[in-house]
Structure formats: C-alpha cells, structure tokens
Amino acid sequence: MFGIKGKQKDSGFEVKKIRKDFPILSRKIYGKPLVYFDNGATTQKPQVVIDIINELHAKENSNVHRGVHYLSGHLTGMYEVARNTIQAFLNAKENHEIIFTSGVTASINLVAFSFGEAYVHEGDEVIISEMEHHSNLVPWQLMCERKGAHLRVIPFNEKGELLLDEFKKLLNEKTKIVSVTHVSNSLGTVNPIKEIIDIAHAHNVPVMIDGAQAIQHEKIDVQELDCDFYAFSGHKVYGPTGIGVLYGKEKWLNDMPPYLGGGDMIDRVTIEKTTYNELPFKFEAGTPNYIGAVGLGKAIDYLLGVGFDEIRAREKKLLDYATEKLSKIEGLKIYGTADHKVATFSFLLDDISPYDVGVLLDQMGIAVRTGHHCTQPLWDHYGTEGSARASLVFYNTFEEIDYFCEGIEKIKKMFS
Ligand code: PMP
C-alpha cells in the first residue's frame, strides 16, 4: 500500500526496499496496515538486529569478562567490538570514554550523581532548559536537593527555540554544569548545541547533551562538538531496548567517583576498602547487557549502510511535506515550529482531547503518542497538559502522511 507514489518524491531513496528490512512495518493493526508514527518513543528494529540478538541467545550466550572458556571469550570480544563501533560512530577519542548503560535515563543519572559528588557544593548552580525530558531534569533536581545546589532554567520562545541570550545571563561563577537536550522529544526542535557548548566553555563550564532524539537523525561527532558528556539509548536508534551509551571525556570520568558498586567495577576488594577498575569498567557495575550492546553495534552498522546523508535528506522531505499538509488542516495547532527541527509533530485538534485523537487514529492503524511526553514543564509553558505527537523517520512514507491527514479530517467531522 505505501511507498509507490512516494518514489517520485524520493528521487533515489528506495523506501520500499528499506521498509522490507523492518518486519513489523508490514504488519496490520485491526486489519489495516500499520502506520508507525511513534518513533520518538521507540524505533523499530531491522531484521539484522533481530537476527543477531536471537543468534547470540541461541548459540553464543555466556557472561562477559569473567570466563576463561571459549564462549565467554567470544562474547567478551563481541562486546568490546561493539564499544569500538560506538567509539567510531561518535568519533570519541578513546574507546574507554564509551560507557555502556541501560539507556539515556541511566546515563544522565550516572553523571548527575557522580559529577555532583565530585564537583557540586552548596549554593552551586546547574543549568538545564525548560524543554527537557523528565530524564534530564529529575536526576539534576535530586542531585541539587542532595547538595543544596540550585537548578537554573533556559526558557524558550513560542516556536520552541531556546533563548540563548537568557542562557548567557544564567551563567556565572556558581554554574557547575549545563545539561540540555540536543533535540526536543515534544517539539522536534534541534537545539544549537555547538553554540551552547562554546558559550558554556567560555565560562569553563562543562556541558552534557541528552542525545535521545538526535542520534537517529544525524551523525554526531563528540570531538567536533567538544561536549563533555553525550548520552543516547539503543532503542531509539533502531537497536535493542535496555542498552544505552554514555560518552564522557576521559578527564571527567577519571575524576568522578563510581555510581553503582558491584562486579566488574572493582580492582581489589577487602572488607575495609575497595579500589576501582579502570575506565570504562569503573562505571559498568554488574553483568552488562552484552547482547544488547552487540545488537546496538549492528543497528549502527545498519544505519551507516543506509547513510546519514540519505536519512537526513529523506526526513527533511517528510518534514516539509507533513508540515505543509498539517498546516492546511483548520483547527490543528502544531506545537514546535522551530526553524531547525526534525519530523516530530505535537498537535492539538480544535478542543478535542489528544487522547481521543490518539484512540481514533489507532483504530485506523495509526500509532501516535498522546500525553505530556515526559515534558510537563514544557506544557506548563504553553498552558496545556500535552498533545498528540506524530514522530516520523526515514522509513515512513508520503502516503502514510496523506492517510494520517485524512484520518485527522475524519476525526474532525466526527466531533463537529
Ligand atoms: N531524553 C529524551 C529527549 C527522550 O526523548 C527520552 C525518551 N523519550 C529520554 C531522555 C529517556 O530515554 P530512555 O527512556 O531510553 O532512558
């Protein structure tokens, strides 16, 4: 059904072929072809990722780092190859600057705790923004409460763009760290993180970037960005759930105390005292999600095979097409109209509850997300409780956008 007319608009991007790589995209929901517009929540997995996970569980499974036997050595090797894949993907200087975590939330909690322990004292300040996901807000709040420090917040304008002049005013000698999202999950805004990093560094303040919604859309170069920390989740970049990454500059990671204690993160343990393992293991306590890490490495290889230039170009076309079509629907208001954004559309339709919109779209086979999308302060800014959100990626099609817009028109009629 999908992908025929779209070919003309794609000039070369073989979406039909790409969609075959993702088995779930050909399934039906209530007898209708699935239109998966909930990629902001999680992305679908290509067959190569599904295969490697199954294969490792079936034929190779063994705990890493702890065995002298064949299987353990083999999987340890694969786990470390995955780390090298991520290092190359992010262009990190050292592979021990790549810490495997369970996801962005775990990565940010690690930094908030550990950086906080090392560097934050009473009266100090931490800067975040008003559009942060709760995962990049609550960990800092917890740390500030523990340390007697204060959160400062960069506001945004009605289009959903951060106000950099206000950011500059917030920086002072008490600022210990800035943590902002690269791309807003609710608004789709791509924040000018290079500029934010440069401004903060001019005040000797390190910067953490929440890359949860950016990593699937553009190629990240942590050395070029010069960010101090960058975090992302495997499941949002076509990889498995339960695996994620924290990139951190070696100098910070070496100085920061461990976050979780347990196996693998130790050098020597006595009842009186423990000395810690070197990076990256110092921050990887317990059995890691080694099969997830290998699956993530596969997902990255797959994406590099598709090509980030191609992904960016296609997603821009989907963004422009959907923006034009949605803006023609009377009574539909899009939240997030930044000049630089990804194909994420938070919207309200007349005074219809976004939940009703979501449920009715679902009956047409269209998956969107509804609610506050874990960004309640962002919705407080707009004076509403949330939205319906369609988030598109390269495997979505122009026909799906047409079908989605027809669906919205139908819902409007039902309520009129
Ligand atoms: N930050 C942003 C911007 C997100 O979109 C998300 C996931 N919705 C997270 C953090 C948290 O990611 P995870 O649940 O994978 O830890």
CA–centroid distance, 269 to ligand 1, in Å, is 35
Are residues 73 and 20 located together in one domain of the fold? no
Query: For ligand 1, atom 6, which residue shows the shortest CA distance?
Result: 212
Paired with 40 in beta bridges are none
Q: Is 405 a catalytic residue?
A: no
CB 304 within 8 A of CB 89: yes
Query: Among the atoms of ligand 1, which is closest to the Cα of residue 106?
Result: 16
Residue 62: give its domain's CATH number. 3.40.640.10
Are residues 189 and 272 located together in one domain of the fold? yes
Are residues 134 and 282 located together in one domain of the fold? yes
Question: Considering the domain boundaries, does residue 104 fall inside one?
Answer: yes
pLDDT at 9 (0 to 100): 61
Backbone angles phi, psi at 362, to 5 degrees: -60, -40
Last residue in a domain, options 242, 271, 305: 305
Query: For ligand 1, atom 12, which residue shows the shortest CA distance?
Result: 104
CA–centroid distance, 180 to ligand 1, in Å, is 12
Are residues 268 and 354 located together in one domain of the fold? no
Q: How many domains does the chain have?
A: 2
Are residues 185 and 94 located together in one domain of the fold? yes
Question: Considering the domain boundaries, does residue 156 fall inside one?
Answer: yes
Are residues 146 and 274 located together in one domain of the fold? yes
Query: For ligand 1, atom 14, which residue shows the shortest CA distance?
Result: 105
Q: For residue 128, give every residue at least 6 positions away whose Cβ sits within 8 Å of its Cβ, in sequence order, or none.
A: 136, 137, 140, 151, 152, 153, 154, 178, 179, 180
pTM: 0.97
Under DSSP, is residue 232 helix (H, G, I), strand (E, B) or coil?
strand
Are residues 287 and 363 located together in one domain of the fold? no
What is the pLDDT tens value at each position of the chain, 416 positions in all? 444 454 456 666 899 999 999 999 999 999 999 999 999 999 999 999 999 999 999 999 999 987 899 999 999 999 999 999 999 999 999 999 999 999 999 999 999 999 999 999 999 999 999 999 999 999 999 999 999 999 999 999 999 999 999 999 999 999 999 999 999 999 999 999 999 999 999 999 999 999 999 999 999 999 999 999 999 999 999 999 999 999 999 999 999 999 999 999 999 999 999 999 999 999 999 999 999 999 999 999 999 999 999 999 999 999 999 999 999 999 999 999 999 999 999 999 999 999 999 999 999 999 999 999 999 999 999 999 999 999 999 999 999 999 999 999 999 999 98
Distance CA 86, CA 247 (A): 9
pLDDT at 11 (0 to 100): 60
Domain housing 350: 7-46+307-415
CA–centroid distance, 296 to ligand 1, in Å, is 16
Question: Considering the domain boundaries, does residue 381 fall inside one?
Answer: yes
Question: Considering the domain boundaries, does residue 2 fall inside one?
Answer: no
pLDDT at 12 (0 to 100): 66
Cβ neighbourhood burial of 322 (10 Å; 0-12, 13-18, 19+): buried
Last residue in a domain, options 276, 305, 334: 305
Q: Report residue 317 as tokens.
A: 């076309």
pLDDT at 10 (0 to 100): 60
Question: Considering the domain boundaries, does residue 1 fall inside one?
Answer: no
Angle ∠(196,157,345) on CA atoms, nearest 5: 95
Query: Among the atoms of ligand 1, which is closest to the Cα of residue 135?
Result: 10
pLDDT at 66 (0 to 100): 78
Ligand 1 pocket residues where CB is under 6 Å:
103-105, 133, 135-136, 181, 185, 210, 212-213, 233, 374
Angle ∠(285,289,295) on CA atoms, nearest 5: 145
Of the residues 144, 227, 374, 405, which is catalytic? 374
Query: Among the atoms of ligand 1, which is closest to the Cα of residue 184?
Result: 3
Are residues 112 and 188 located together in one domain of the fold? yes
Are residues 111 and 29 located together in one domain of the fold? no
Are residues 330 and 188 located together in one domain of the fold? no
Last residue in a domain, options 248, 280, 305: 305
CA–centroid distance, 191 to ligand 1, in Å, is 16
pLDDT at 67 (0 to 100): 82
Are residues 244 and 323 located together in one domain of the fold? no
Alpha carbons within 13 A on the beta-carbon side of 78:
25
Question: Considering the domain boundaries, does residue 313 fall inside one?
Answer: yes
CA–centroid distance, 107 to ligand 1, in Å, is 10
pLDDT at 6 (0 to 100): 47
Distance CA 158, CA 135 (A): 23
Distance CA 62, CA 383 (A): 51
Residue 314: give its domain's CATH number. 3.90.1150.10
Q: For residue 158, give every residue at least 6 positions away whose Cβ sits within 8 Å of its Cβ, in sequence order, or none.
A: none
Closest CA to 320 of 284, 350, 290, 345: 345
Are residues 124 and 169 located together in one domain of the fold? yes
